[in-house]
Amino acid sequence: MVEIGAKEVYELRKRTGAGVMDCKKALQESGGDLEKACEILRKKGIETAAKKQSRVTKEGLIGSYVHTDGKIGVLVEVNCETDFVARTEEFQKLVKELTLQIAAQAPRWIAPEDVPEEIKRQEENIYWEQLKESNKPDHVKQKIVEGKMKKFYEENCLLEQEYIRDPDKKIKDLVVEAIAKLGENIVVKRFVRFKLGEEDEQ
- Are the C-beta atoms of residues 54 and 177 closer than 8 Å to each other? no
pLDDT tens sequence across 103-134? 999 999 999 999 999 999 999 999 998 888 88
Q: Is the pLDDT of residue 168 over 80?
A: yes
Q: Are residues 12 and 104 in the same domain?
A: no
Q: Are residues 104 and 133 in the same domain?
A: no
Other Cβ atoms within 10 Å of 107 Cβ, number: 24
Q: How confident is the model at residue 50 (pLDDT cuts 50, 70, 90)?
A: low
What integer pLDDT is reported at residue 80 of this predicted model? 94
Domain boundaries, position 141: 116-155
**Is residue 201 in some structural domain?**
no
**DSSP one-letter code for 160:** G
Using DSSP's 3-state secondary structure scheme, residue 74 falls into: strand
Q: Are residues 123 and 99 in the same domain?
A: no
Report the alpha-carbon distance of residue 28 to residue 168 in Å, rounded.
Answer: 27
Q: How confident is the model at residue 32 (pLDDT cuts 50, 70, 90)?
A: confident
Q: How confident is the model at residue 54 (pLDDT cuts 50, 70, 90)?
A: low
Q: Are residues 38 and 131 in the same domain?
A: no
What integer pLDDT is reported at residue 56 of this predicted model? 67
Q: What is the CATH number of the domain that holds 80?
A: 3.30.479.20
The reported pTM is 0.70
